[in-house]
Amino acid sequence: MASEREVRVRLRRAGQEHLLRFWAELAPGPRAALLAELAPLEPEALREHCRRAAAACALPPGPSPDLAARLRPLPPERVGSVGRSDPETRRCWEEEGFRQIALNKVAVLLLAGGQGTRLGVAYPKGMYRVGLPSGKTLYQLQAERIRRVEQLAGERRGTRCTVPWYIMTSEFTLGPTAEFFKEHDFFHLDPANVVMFEQRMLPAVTFDGKAILERKDKVAMAPDGNGGLYCALADHQILEDMERRGVEFVHVYCVDNILVRLADPAFIGFCVLRGADCGAKVVEKAYPEEPVGVVCQVDGVPQVVEYSEISPETARLRASDGGLLYNAGNICNHFFTRGFLQMVTRKCEPLLKPHVAVKKVPYVDEEGNLVKPLKPNGIKMEKFVFDVFQFAKNFVAFEVLREEEFSPLKNADPASRDSPCTARQALLAQHYRWALQAGARFLDTHGAWLPQPPSPPLHGDPPAICEISPLVSYSGEGLEVYLQGQQFQSPLILDEDQAKVLQPPES
């Protein structure tokens, strides 16, 4: 371990020697912990990080004055759509996706570095239960979707296959996530195929460019954003692991979408058949001011423009068909080839520009007292996973139906949007639709038939509670054998055991 003298010299070069101002007061244990945290920080990189944070924060907020003139929607030939394509086209995409999965060429990569702070919990979001009848967590739902897509691909191609699950965590989430998976026997996945790795942490910085101490013996650190993925892939030799396994295509997604389809065969197949090196799932924006980034082009280059960077006038522009001109909402659901990720980690990552997040950061004052600020006092710099779109040689977007594939979990109840309640409702409404499409009918407590769902799809609780395990159906397929012609009273929980009861005997 580096000595106090060595670390002090390095901090002086970085202009951050104040981080040792309580050194004389610390016991041996806290001293060792502080040195261990400071030693990996390269002086030049730390100085540049703090300088860039302060400079970026000083820039005026809002859209760039000339952005509107540089902005264009994606060309139609770069966009595929589930809702606007015929059944045969969708079948071809799906078949190609299943073929690649069966050949063991597909992996999924989960971005799980964030805590559930906005949900009011101190543990990782993936461990959260939204109140489903089954009590399943987000992690369990995702694990079961992996198992089901492996099963479907294997059955179609007459083979056994594996979809490795890579999980990027942070200092805050690695320990709890690893323990949670062990406690639940990795949800019956092979632990060798679940690879957890940790993203880097960066110091939070004051508005005048000084790294913040959150305790006398600890720097205020934060994950480097989901765009920290690219450094983490290199730090932990993840791409080398993928190469050893024969993985060529990687589906990257964010932990908080309860409807996410892991290794989605249609998405994988669409991207592979288009020869894409990089792709993004999108949903049609619900309204002009919806707070989601827009997948579009700036100066002819694909990228995501944050909603705060687009003027209201631009956001409200209409296309010739009457829809929003900039309607491709980003949902943090991406396709990459392994080759593209190798190119990014080796050549392009240093070109990524960090984004500013102004936050309330607890700190110790000059007397060593802990202060919990009432207003933002610090800067956290982070990179975004989609910042690499600009480097793609063949970028595509894939539009999916929001009600089938996107319901994020970000806010605590009783928030009206993106809450445990809305996530639960979205999943149960989806399963109710699937059951009706498979020929099931539901009865109320008086034995009367409950209604079909209206169009547009349901908001709020469905007429009957129906939860279908991902182990029974990945995307609504195969339910007729259990549900067609059957009548049920709410709630119906269709798990593996219930499916065996409902399955008719072989003749």
**What separation in angstroms does the CA of 97 have from each of 36, 108, 109, 243, 472?**
45, 13, 16, 19, 20
pLDDT band (50, 70, 90) for residue 325? very high
Two structure tokens written together for 248: 């060529």
Q: Looking at the 3D structure of the chain, how many domains does it have?
A: 3
Q: How far apart are the C-alpha atoms of 107 and 432, rounded to whole Å?
A: 30
Instruction: Give domain status of residue 412, yes or no.
Output: no
- Do the bridges between strand 466-468 and strand 492-494 make them parallel or antiparallel, or are there none, so unpaired? parallel
The torsion angles phi and psi of 122, rounded to 5 degrees, stand at -100, 5
Please tell me whether residues 43 and 181 are part of one structural domain. no
Two structure tokens written together for 317: 């522009």
pLDDT at residue number 129 = 96
Domain end among 404, 438, 458: 404
- Do the bridges between strand 301-305 and strand 294-298 make them parallel or antiparallel, or are there none, so unpaired? antiparallel
Residue 347 parent element (H or E): none
pLDDT at residue number 454 = 60
pLDDT band (50, 70, 90) for residue 303? very high
Averaged over 131-150, what is the pLDDT?
Answer: 97
Q: Using the CB atoms, write b or e for 326-342: b if 16+ within 10 Å.
A: bbbbbbbbbbbbbebbb
Which strands make up the sheet holding 355-359, listed edge to edge?
205-206, 378-382, 355-359
Please tell me whether residues 50 and 92 are part of one structural domain. no
Higher-confidence residue: 506 or 302?
302
Q: What percent of the chain is modeled with pLDDT above 90?
A: 83
pLDDT band (50, 70, 90) for residue 169? very high
How far is C-alpha 63 from the chain's CA centre?
25
Helix axes 43-58, 4-14, angle to 10 degrees: 40
Give the 3-state secondary structure of residue 315: helix
What CATH number is associated with residue 151? Answer: 3.90.550.10
One-letter amino acid of 498: Q
Please tell me whether residues 444 and 300 are part of one structural domain. no
Average pLDDT of the chain? 93
Instruction: Give domain status of residue 409, yes or no.
Output: no
pLDDT band (50, 70, 90) for residue 141? very high
Two structure tokens written together for 315: 């956001």
Please tell me whether residues 135 and 250 are part of one structural domain. yes
Tell me: the pLDDT tens digits for 402-428? Answer: 999 999 999 999 998 999 999 999 999
Tell me: the pLDDT tens digits for 170-227? Answer: 999 999 999 999 999 999 999 999 999 999 999 999 999 999 999 999 999 989 999 9
Output the CA angle 387-391-392, nearest 5 degrees.
110
pLDDT band (50, 70, 90) for residue 13? very high
Instruction: Give domain status of residue 26, yes or no.
Output: yes
Averaged over 47-57, what is the pLDDT?
Answer: 90
Beta bridge partners of 257: 408
Range of the domain at 30: 4-58
Report the chain's terminal Cα–Cα distance, integer Å. Answer: 71
Q: How far apart are the C-alpha atoms of 185 and 181, rounded to whole Å?
A: 6
What CATH number is associated with residue 455? Answer: 2.10.10.100
The residue with tokens 């539901």 is: 442
- Quick check: 31 and 4 in contact, CB under 8 A? yes
Two structure tokens written together for 340: 């593209």
Please tell me whether residues 262 and 191 are part of one structural domain. yes
Give the 3-state secondary structure of residue 167: strand
Beta bridge partners of 278: 336, 395
Two structure tokens written together for 372: 């919990």
Instruction: Give domain status of residue 414, yes or no.
Output: no
- Do the bridges between strand 328-337 and strand 249-254 make them parallel or antiparallel, or are there none, so unpaired? antiparallel
Please tell me whether residues 259 and 279 are part of one structural domain. yes
Please tell me whether residues 178 and 302 are part of one structural domain. yes
Tell me: the pLDDT tens digits for 211-255? Answer: 999 999 999 998 999 999 999 999 999 999 999 999 999 999 999
pLDDT at residue number 499 = 79
Q: How far apart are the C-alpha atoms of 366 and 380, rounded to whole Å?
A: 21
Please tell me whether residues 155 and 203 are part of one structural domain. yes
Alpha helices by DSSP H, 166-224: 174-183
pTM: predicted TM-score of the whole model, two decimal places? 0.94
Please tell me whether residues 161 and 22 are part of one structural domain. no
pLDDT at residue number 65 = 74
pLDDT at residue number 63 = 64
**Which of 68-77, 271-280, 492-501 shows the lowest mean pLDDT across its residues?**
492-501
Higher-confidence residue: 507 or 333?
333
Please tell me whether residues 89 and 132 are part of one structural domain. yes
What is the maximal distance between C-alpha atoms in the chain?
82
- Quick check: 327 and 284 in contact, CB under 8 A? yes
- Quick check: 441 and 488 in contact, CB under 8 A? yes
**Which of 55-59, 101-105, 342-346 shows the lowest mean pLDDT across its residues?**
55-59
Please tell me whether residues 242 and 307 are part of one structural domain. yes
Two structure tokens written together for 115: 């805590």
Beta bridge partners of 383: none
Domain end among 58, 76, 97: 58
Please tell me whether residues 241 and 138 are part of one structural domain. yes
pLDDT at residue number 117 = 83
pLDDT at residue number 14 = 96
pLDDT at residue number 29 = 95
Instruction: Give domain status of residue 410, yes or no.
Output: no
Instruction: Give domain status of residue 440, yes or no.
Output: yes
One-letter amino acid of 453: P
Q: How far apart are the C-alpha atoms of 250 and 168, rounded to whole Å?
A: 13
**What separation in angstroms does the CA of 441 have from each of 161, 430, 450, 476?**
36, 15, 7, 16
pLDDT band (50, 70, 90) for residue 450? confident
**What separation in angstroms does the CA of 237 have from each of 44, 105, 223?**
25, 18, 19
Q: How far apart are the C-alpha atoms of 311 and 165, rounded to whole Å?
A: 39
Residue 387 parent element (H or E): none
For residue 246, give the DSSP letter: T
Beta-strand runs (E) in 199-274: 201-203, 205-206, 213-215, 218-219, 221-223, 249-254
Cα dihedral across residues 26, 32, 33, 34: positive or negative: positive
